[in-house]
């Protein structure tokens, strides 16, 4: 047709219009997570309270272990550090929601400080948030889909690694001869007590059926 291009323009415009409307439909559909249910919130609170008391008991073990090992106590007590990381992966594995590990750790620290009189004081809230974030990172990286032994192990190791530098600042470990030794001990402890032991706890709870109504029950049945 001539330069006014009426038919061509019409056809071209129609095809472009169709293409523009088709593009969004072809893209990936984003799904929103449902809000936390009351049941999930209550579970995180219960976990925070239970592990808050367990953490307080662990403090007594920390003190006793340091006393038993005498001059090496200041170093050997760090083998227990991973015990303070366990609630984060437990909460994450059961609920499978972003932030569950951080919230559970902070709630446990609140129990330690407010109700059990932890000597660390409010700074414990900061440490709990840091170690919870470190523990949650591996699960976040897998979009809360992987709950393998490796994921748990990395969770515990990262949680211990993250909080170590905050603890080192508080305790004045920077520049000391045992700085890297302390870090190594705490990371290994995090892997074993804060990661692998958490996997054992979660699997034991799953076998009882008490958490079947949460996300862990739905994923296990697939």
Residue 26 maps to a domain: no
- Is 108 contained in some domain? yes
Domains held by the chain: number? 1
Polymer length in residues for the chain: 222
Collapsed DSSP state (helix, strand, coil) of residue 168: helix
Domain span holding position 78: 37-220
- 23 lies in some domain: no
Provide the whole-model pTM: 0.82
CB 87 within 8 A of CB 97: no
Q: Is residue 44 part of a domain?
A: yes
Q: pLDDT tier at 220 (50, 70, 90 boundaries)?
A: low
Domain assignment of residue 124, yes or no? yes
Instruction: For residues 54 and 32, give the distance between their C-alpha atoms in angstroms, rounded to a whole number.
Output: 35
Is residue 52, in this structure, part of any structural domain at all? yes
In a domain, 11, yes or no: no
Among 8-17, 70-79, 113-122, 171-180, the range with the most confident prediction by mean pLDDT is 171-180
With 60 as the cut, is the pLDDT of residue 52 above it?
yes
Residue 37, classed as helix, strand or coil, is coil
């Amino acid at each position: 047709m001539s330069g006014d291009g009426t038919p061509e323009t019409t056809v071209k415009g129609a095809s472009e219009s169709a293409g523009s409307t088709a593009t969004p439909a072809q893209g990936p559909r984003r799904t929103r997570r449902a809000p936390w249910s009351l049941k999930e919130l209550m579970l995180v609170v219960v976990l925070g309270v239970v592990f808050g008391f367990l953490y307080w008991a662990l403090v007594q073990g920390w003190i006793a272990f340091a006393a038993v090992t005498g001059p090496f106590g200041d170093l050997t007590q760090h083998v227990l550090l991973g015990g303070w990381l366990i609630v984060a992966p437990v909460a994450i594995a059961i609920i499978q929601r972003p932030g569950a590990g951080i919230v559970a750790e902070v709630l446990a620290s609140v129990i330690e400080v407010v109700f059990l009189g932890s000597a660390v004081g409010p700074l414990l809230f900061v440490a709990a948030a840091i170690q919870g974030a470190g523990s949650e990172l591996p699960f976040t990286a897998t979009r809360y889909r992987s709950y393998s032994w490796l994921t748990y192990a990395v969770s515990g190791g990262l949680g211990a690694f993250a909080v170590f530098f905050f603890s080192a600042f508080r305790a004045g470990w920077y520049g000391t001869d045992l700085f890297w030794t302390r870090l190594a001990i705490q990371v290994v402890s995090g892997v074993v007590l804060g990661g692998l032991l958490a996997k054992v706890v979660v699997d034991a709870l799953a076998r009882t059926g008490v958490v079947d109504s949460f996300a862990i029950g739905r994923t296990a049945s697939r």
